[in-house]
Chains A and B, each alone.
Chain A
């Protein structure tokens, strides 16, 4: 659509100014349904969860960008609760796997069992065959079990005994983990980390939020009112919203901006592992979804910068010297952003 010179604020664009005689722009794609649905998801999650607005926004971005999310935080900051709440707002099958040190790949993917009536083996799908899968404490399972997720997370199918079983759409893995400093955990393989669209760090609540948590707990009947959370997004609706996100407009210079930002991780002297092209795709897709959430049908450098840390922090590895100096992945991402000129 063309920009118009009407003098009324445009409903789909949050950036619309308050001034009266200004140029109004109307998105070429109607994002009203997306805005309404995502607002409903936020509202439902907010019935139980206090604060964590950035976390919820990133989860929505991942949902729209068709990517998996790794949530990292110390115990007790509502990682699992947030994942469960998001799953409840979606009207799709939900599965949960608690990763333990003795978990086997077949416990995740499924296994063949002998059916005497048929006189043959039959594949019994594992809990991974759900639309939303919550993998709790993913770093408590050894690498053998974690690597069972490689194929399913990327290619959305499971190959067992020479047969390939496709998963239904949508397929979203929400995994939680405690920081590696905690006892009894394994570091995830790089190949698996790369399959997560975002790694989101879940912070402690602010003092004001913690007061609200306490007040809610004190006044309530005890326990969390999870049953109050309603499903507000169906599988078909989600597919339609994802199609809209894929059609977001991207100015050509922004492709170069994303490529430069990610490419810099491969030559930076403080890193011995840079980000893969999959990271570039993740950054682009995430930026498109974030722009849609913010009511625009086009991407800006702001969207890219906002998502650079969640996309890159788990895909880069610092040299031991830099780690000893106390530099973290987020510090390095900030440095990278400062080194690349914003296309303008």
Chain B
């Protein structure tokens, strides 16, 4: 029976292969052949010659040569960056260092909380003015966009000036802007520069329906005089003025009540 035949069981073939492998691992030192006579070994190397050294002066010259300097020069530090790093180092030392006091930590965390709240309110479009003031929000009316440099604060004075100069058309317009401002201050309309007068009428109809007819009349007067460029006489302006003053005084009475 042969030692290993293909007919042998698998386990027997694996067992025989394993024992051959172990035997070969145990015998290499015995079986290693001697090196041939003409091979180079450490023992038969020729002796080394004298060590050559570079002259010290030449070495110094080469070391001083800029072309042979391979280290990168450190970047010139930006003063602003340097200040910024110093600032954060200072913050870290004072807030979180071993000698930092509780006061500085409190200031830092308060500022961080306020900043976070502002960012969130901006993102959500919240109006935080109401937290500080009881009255309705005053919307800055962009009168400065108008060509004759009318300003919100100077509106009553400009109206008076226009009346004194008998510029009835301009006075009608300034008077109407004053009405819009009064309605805005009382939260009866929400001023937006893109809104039309009829949109304000719709808002007022919802907020104070009893005032809508008189405001509609003021709007009509303004539109005919301003957009329609109808010229007014002093007597006609007096009617416009009377309507406006009645409307504004009624608003004032309502607020007082």
Contacts and interface: CB of A to CB of B under 8 A. Distances in A.
Interface in A257-315: 296-302, 305
Contacts of A17: 213, 216-217, 220
A3 B224 contact: yes
Contacts of B69: none
A5 B239 contact: yes
Interface stretch (B42-50, B92-100, B189-197, B203-211): B189-197
Contact of B195 (A3, A21, A339, A342): A342
Q: Chain A: interface residue count, which band?
A: 20 to 34
B198 A302 contact: yes
Given A340-B194, A344-B177, A22 B239 contact: yes
B223 A300 contact: yes
A298 B225 CA distance: 10
Contact of B220 (A16, A254, A338, A344): A16
B194 A341 contact: yes
B232 interface: yes
A300 B196 CA distance: 9
Interface in A52-100: none
Nearest to A297: B228
Contacts of A254: 227
Interface string A14-36: 01111101110100000000000
A342 B196 contact: yes
Contact of A23 (B146, B193, B229, B240): B240
Contacts of B195: 342
Contacts of A23: 221, 236, 239-240
B131 interface: no
Contacts, number: 82
B213 A21 contact: no
Contacts of A19: 213-214, 217
A207 interface: no
Interface on chain B toward A: helix, strand, loop, or mixed SS?
helix
A110 B145 CA distance: 55
Contacts of B176: 344
A5 B228 contact: no
Residue from B213, B224, B239 having most chain A Cβ neighbours under 10 A? B224
A251 interface: yes
Contacts of B197: 300, 302, 344
A340 B142 CA distance: 12
Nearest to A3: B230
A340 B177 CA distance: 18
B2 to A, nearest CB: 77
Given A19-B213, A25-B230, A300-B196, A341 B224 contact: no
A42 interface: no
A303 B240 CA distance: 24
A23 B238 CA distance: 10
B226 interface: yes
Nearest to B224: A25
A179 B235 CA distance: 57
Given A296-B223, A302-B198, A342-B193, 15 more contacts: A3-B231, A5-B236, A17-B213, A17-B220, A19-B217, A22-B239, A22-B243, A23-B240, A251-B228, A298-B227, A337-B194, A339-B194, A341-B194, A342-B194, A342-B195
29 contacts: A2-B231, A3-B224, A3-B230, A3-B231, A3-B232, A15-B216, A15-B220, A15-B223, A17-B217, A18-B213, A19-B217, A23-B236, A25-B230, A251-B228, A251-B229, A296-B223, A296-B228, A298-B223, A298-B228, A300-B196, A301-B196, A338-B192, A338-B194, A341-B142, A341-B145, A341-B193, A342-B193, A342-B194, A342-B196
